[in-house]
Amino acid sequence: MTKDEATSGSAPQDAPDNALVRATLGGDETAFGRLVRRYIRKAMAVALEYAGSREDAEDVVQDTFKRVLENLDRYDPSRPFEPWFFTVLRNTARNAAKRRRVRDHEALTTEYASASPDPFETTHRRELRRQIDEAVERLPAAQRKCFRLCIVEGLSSVEVASALGLAESTVRVQVFKARRALQRLLDTWAEEVGNI
């Protein structure tokens, strides 16, 4: 620690996370900035796993740092900072994903409600939904589980891998294969409908 740091109460540049937390709580305005610089890249990488876009991931990271700063007094300094930080990040990302799904669903519902109901379109939508449900049921068990958890439930491939005891790469491959199989079915169905 330099003489200036000792007299100003400022944490050194390479200070451990807990020292930066203490300095932040003690009023050091630069200490939290150091924590942000230390974790921003990792935080962005994790947020991208949950978010629908880079813009959404940036919002999640910004909200996370805001929540961390607001709740820093709740952090237990006897425990490592990094796991606590990433727990806040994952919770923030999950909540944002839920809000995004609700918002998207409401937008679709409003769009469909405002359109005049066309019995032909309604029948086709219902038939398409039935075809998709049947196709998902016919997928091999591993593909079906991974597809439902990642795509329908909105979990990340990391979460699905952990839940199913698989490698993350295996989950991604299973979802890819499921999507490819469903796309083939939809292409076939679209050709059949187009020929009517």
Going from the N-terminus, what domains does the chain have, and what CATH number goes with each?
1-115 (1.10.1740.10), 118-196 (1.10.10.10)
- For the chain of 196 residues, list the mean pLDDT of each consecutive stretch of 10: 44 81 92 94 86 85 95 92 93 86 66 60 76 84 86 83 88 93 81 66
Picking from 11, 38, 5, 26, the residue whose alpha carbon sits closest to that of residue 72 is 26
Give the model's pLDDT for residue 7: 38
| pLDDT value of position 3 | 39
- The residue assigned the tokens 């330099």 is 2
Alpha-carbon distance of 159 to 90, in angstroms, equals 11
Q: Which two three-digit tokens encode residue 8?
A: 């100003």
* Structure confidence at residue 1 (pLDDT): 41
Determine the pLDDT at residue 66. Answer: 96
Burial bucket for residue 49 (CB in 10 Å: 0-12, 13-18, 19+): middle
Return the exposure string of 111-147: e unless at least 16 CB atoms fall within 10 Å of the residue's CB, then b.
Answer: eeeeeeeeeeeeeeeeeeeebeeebbeebeebbbbbb
Contact call for residues 24 and 71 (beta carbons, < 8 A): no
Q: In the prediction, which pLDDT does 108 show?
A: 64
